[in-house]
Amino acid sequence: MCGIYGFTQSRYESKASGELLRQMGKLLEHRGPDGDGSFIDDEVALGHRRLKIIDLEGGSQPMQDWQQRYVVTFNGEIYNFQELRAQFEKRGFRFQTRSDTETILAAYHFYGEACVECFQGMFAFGLWDKQSKKLLLARDRLGKKPLYYFRLGQRFVFSSEMKAILALPDVPREIDFEALNQYLTFGYIPAPLTIFKHIRKLKPAQTLILENGELKTKTYWNLPQPESATQHSEQEYVEQLDGLLQEAVRSRLISDVPLGAFLSGGLDSSTIVSTMTRVSNQPVRAFTIDFTVDGFSEVDEAKKFVKHLGVVHTVRQIFPDAVRLLPKLVWHFDEPFGDSSAVPTYYVSEMARQNVTVILSGDGGDELFAGYRSYLLRDEYMMIRRLPLALRKMLFAPIAQALPFQAPARNFLKFAAYAQMDDGPQALGLYPYIKDDVMSGVVRRELKSFDASMQRREIFAELEKMDKLTKLQHVDTKIYLPEDILMKVDRMSMANSLETRAPLLDYRLVEFAAKLPANLKMREGTTKYLLKKLMQKYFPKNMISNKKQGFAIPINAWCQNQLSSFIHEILLDSRCYNRGYFNGRAVEKMLHHHSTGQRDYSEWIWLLLNLELWFQTFMDQDTRRV
């Protein structure tokens, strides 16, 4: 895993390029502590921070092909690089290293920008063609690796993290209110938006070409739709899944450095660890954290799987110091991020990195095999939608607005007034009402012209004839998975210089799961039906029927106790008030209601706290870090 960055030379003198690359690379050192490299010519400057995983001696970057025409800076892993290498060697390409990076150069030599279709893996890269003066950026199919870019006039810059772009002089820090609207609704900002109006994220499965001053983006892959009829018996589907899973895990065990796996005690991570024991000839190491808080520890469940599988298990008790940790998390995320499970993700990554450099995780299982509780609740809110939207707005919106914001019925009335899709309350977001209640009038006016659920509706429209479960899964796989789950895992693992691999997100396995009939993903209230059916081959039935807990923290208790004074200090400070984003009186009321137990506002508080800390870290002249 690495950090990549670069820029076009049209606005810079070559003499200054080296120093600018050095500054950008320093900000990404956590992504690649094992070395750095640069390439500079009259057209572009490319930089790289390296975390050594494969070909420890010969894999330095930026890397050029044997003919010195192409140069690439690459973040990620190409898992089928050995097969591709054999093919390209037969066709005359001369390899100079054992690195998977060189496979990208060879694939581009033969296929141009279509090279991305060859790769099985996770990747973000920038490739410069010296002869045609063309810059290619690319991101993997599921969005496991991030890639940001900035263009204003003749200036074009890209990087793994936005902070490196902010190191350049004169990059505007103008807030994008459409992105802020997304954050205040869902707790994250989906691509192509970022919190800054002039910086964008490349979408998953997208390439970008910059040539002759013209910028073009293209989507090279999409999720397939379910097959119209069952093609195989249930047992045949189980065997297909088993084969795909074993191959996905086997290919992700290639490493020249120590490797292990996260083990939470849930089905997804246990599936990965179990598969590792069957396909690896080395002892498997698993890592679990214990939060030592009743209801939030999965250690006992993890130990059952450890005993059954016979793996080497490391457990670490965590006593979280959220006051110390939060500013660090804000720095690593670059833009506001409201998912509090970033805290345990950071701690388990920190613990694992003390023992290994590469980790396998169970990310993706809920999206692929229908594991979220919201999928079970998808029909609960449909009766209300039989009323016309205009009538619902007229009936319910005024009542909702008249109620005090602590009234429990207000959320349902808001949903009843505005829901437009075959979806539950998540259609309006996790935090859809915070904008009306605690944001200032000025900010509300800026936000009201944006529709945060537009992307969801566009996906629903593409799948108009599909069942509701398929629609929800596609939305989560295309938006929630890359922008929340994978963003969180990338940033928290890379903050600790740890590479994380997700076998369940092998695109061939993803395509297989997407084509499954709905009754093989959820049946009679059983989520992840087919995956559970498979794992009955390897675990006792009672071990795979545990209630899903999720990677959560006791955020309600934190906001009432250990974080309480810190929250009041940040959100009620004059700096926060004078910024003009929050309604100070409403924030005071919200904090009072939470501290006295009238209502749990911990998720709202966490969202606002992270936003204000972000302003202090990246916007305020006297405290910003870059």
Token pair recorded at residue 20: 């600018």
Q: State the Cα–Cα distance between residues 284 and 574, nearest whole angstrom.
A: 53
Q: How far apart are CA 87 and CA 89, in angstroms?
A: 6
Judge whether 59 and 77 are in contact, CB under 8 Å. no
Q: Which residues pair with 138 in a beta bridge?
A: 125, 207
E strands in 51-143: 63-64, 70-78, 121-129, 134-139
Positive or negative, the CA dihedral 155, 161, 167, 170 is: positive
**Amino acid (one-letter) located at 526:** T
DSSP 48-63: EEE---SSTTT--SSE
* Strand, helix or coil for residue 39: strand
Please report where in the chains the tokens 């002249």 appear, as a residue: 621
Cα dihedral sign for 451, 457, 458, 459?
A: positive
The Cα diameter of the chain in Å comes to: 73
Q: Beta-carbon neighbour count of residue 314 at 10 Å?
A: 17
User: How many Å apart are CA 279 and CA 100, to the nearest integer?
Assistant: 22
Both ends of the chain: CA-CA distance in Å? 23
One-letter amino acid for residue 488 of the chain? K
Are 344 and 583 in contact by the 8 Å Cβ rule? The answer is no
Q: How far is CA 335 from CA 166, 175, 183, 601, 604, in A?
A: 12, 11, 10, 22, 17
Angle at 48 between CA 44 and CA 54, to 5 degrees: 135
Asked if 48 and 177 count as a contact pair (C-beta separation under 8 A), the reply is no
Compute CA 179 distance to the chain's CA centroid, rounded to the nearest angstrom.
Answer: 16
Q: In what order do the strands lie in the sheet with 63-64?
A: 63-64, 70-78, 121-129, 134-139, 206-211, 214-219
Active site (annotated) includes residue 2: yes
Question: Which of 2, 118, 559, 576 is labelled catalytic?
Answer: 2
* Backbone CA torsion sign across 445, 449, 455, 460: positive
C-alpha distances out from residue 554 to 558, 562, 570, 593, 595, Å: 6, 11, 20, 18, 15
* Alpha helix segments (H runs only) across 151-291: 162-166, 177-186, 234-251, 267-279
Residue 262 to residue 270: CA distance in whole angstroms: 9
Cα–Cα distance between 66 and 99 in angstroms, integer? 14
Secondary structure letter of residue 267 according to DSSP: H
Catalytic residues: 2
